[in-house]
Amino acid sequence: MILRNLTTVKTFKKDIFGKIELVSRDKGELVICRNFGDAKLFARPLAFYLAYREKTILNVLGKLNDSRLPRLLYFGKGFLVRSYIEGTALKNKKVADKSYYDAAAKLLKKIHSAGIVHNDLEKPENWLVTGDNIPGIIDFQLACYFPKKGKIFKLCLKEDMRHLIKQKKRFSPDNLSEDDKIILKNKTRFAKIWRKDFKKIYNFITRKILHYSDRDNSQFSR
């Protein structure tokens, strides 16, 4: 893909790590462009690192050949361009249909089978509702790829699934199964440690020092 004849349609997010835009290229095709070259000077090394990691993830996702998942189109010169998935954020759609969450669980297992964990599915902004209540997943900036599926991978996998069940509890509580309730009740050790020891530190650094909040700076997580 050559970056030319691009027209910004909408800016989804603008923060210290650059901006994410919905862009129209030749023949009117819509794509998502992450401009990490526009990051604040002090944040550029981290912005590049995150974009490079996302590039790796998107390359793996592309091999799954699934239209419900983004794929990499271009990386370089301060830009990461990926495919656009037409849909509405679960945060806005608030789907109550049980079939949506069943399909979402299968999609998540497909990602996990490729050695990828998302790590940011607690946000309903990262779940899309496409077509006839068909799930999609976006924003793999914090995702991780595990060529070897060891203990850390399995721990992150459980967190991904627990976060999906949290969405189900928010928008479709009547369809929670007994297994779902057990998973919600029994948090992983990582989740307990994060909430108890690290979340306050993370919030202090990002919001007080960097003056950054992912949700405050995002109209839609893309």
For position 103, which CATH number holds?
A: 1.10.510.10
Please check whether residues 98 and 200 belong to one and the same domain.
yes
Domain that holds residue 134: 88-209
Alpha helices for 63-188 (secondary structure H): 90-93, 98-113, 151-171, 178-185
Amino acid 197: pLDDT: 53
60, 83, 106 - which closes a domain: 83
- 214 domain-assigned: no
Inside any domain, residue 1: no
Task: Report the predicted TM-score, pTM, of the whole model to 2 decimal places.
Answer: 0.84
Residues 49 and 94 in one domain: no
CATH number at residue 68: 3.30.200.20
Is the domain of 109 the same as that of 94?
yes
Domain end (from 66, 83, 100): 83
In the prediction, which pLDDT does 218 show? Answer: 46
| Number of domains within the chain | 2
CB neighbour class for 6 (10 Å; exposed up to 12, middle 13-18, buried from 19)? middle
pLDDT, position 13: 86
Write down the number of H helices and E strands in the chain.
7, 10
Judge whether 47 lies within some domain: yes
pLDDT in tens, the chain (222 residues): 556 677 889 998 888 889 999 999 877 889 999 999 999 999 999 999 999 999 999 999 999 999 999 999 999 989 999 999 999 999 999 999 999 999 999 999 999 999 999 999 999 999 999 988 899 999 998 899 999 999 989 989 999 999 999 999 999 999 999 999 999 988 766 665 545 554 554 454 555 555 555 554 444 444
- Per the domain annotation, does 222 fall within a domain? no
Domain boundary among 83, 100, 122: 83
